[in-house]
Structure 1
Amino acid sequence: MADSAISVDKLKAFWRSQVHDDENWAFNMKLLRAAGLFAGSIFLMRQYGDLMAV
């Protein structure tokens, strides 16, 4: 079996470093909230933007 460039152990280590480290988790949550707010505002403006026009 050929060695893959990304092994399962590397993925598990990356997941642990991002989720179980408090500093990284806090940053990732801020990033996820910002991305969610951005996506939500795009959705809102696309759906109801014509109602907001003056």
Structure 2
Amino acid sequence: MVDAVISMDKIKAFWNSQVHNEEKWALNMKLLRAAGLFAGSIILMRKYGDLMAI
């Protein structure tokens, strides 16, 4: 069997370092909020954009 370049242990360690570190979690939460706002605004404009036109 071929050794995987990225093992599950490395993925779990990366996930835990991002979630359980307060400073990194704060930055990741800001990024998640920004991405959610961006996606939500796209969905809103696609569904109701014609109602907002003059």
Which category of TM-score, normalised to the shorter sequence, fits these structures? over 0.9
Corresponding residue of 2:34: 34
Paired AA for residue 2 in structure 2: A
Q: Which runs of 5+ in 2 are unaligned?
A: none
Q: Do residues 47 (structure 1) and 47 (structure 2) align?
A: yes
The TM-score with structure 2 as length reference comes to 0.95
Percent identical residues = 76
2:19 aligned partner: 19
Matched with 1:4 is 4
Show structure 1 runs of 5+ residues with no match. none
Q: Distance in 2 between matches of 1:8 and 1:53?
A: 50
Cα distance in 2, alignment partners of residues 8 and 49 from structure 1:
44
Give 2:50's aligned amino acid.
D
Q: Distance in 2 between matches of 1:39 and 1:8?
A: 30
Which aligned runs of 4 or more in structure 1 are off by greater than 6 angstroms? none
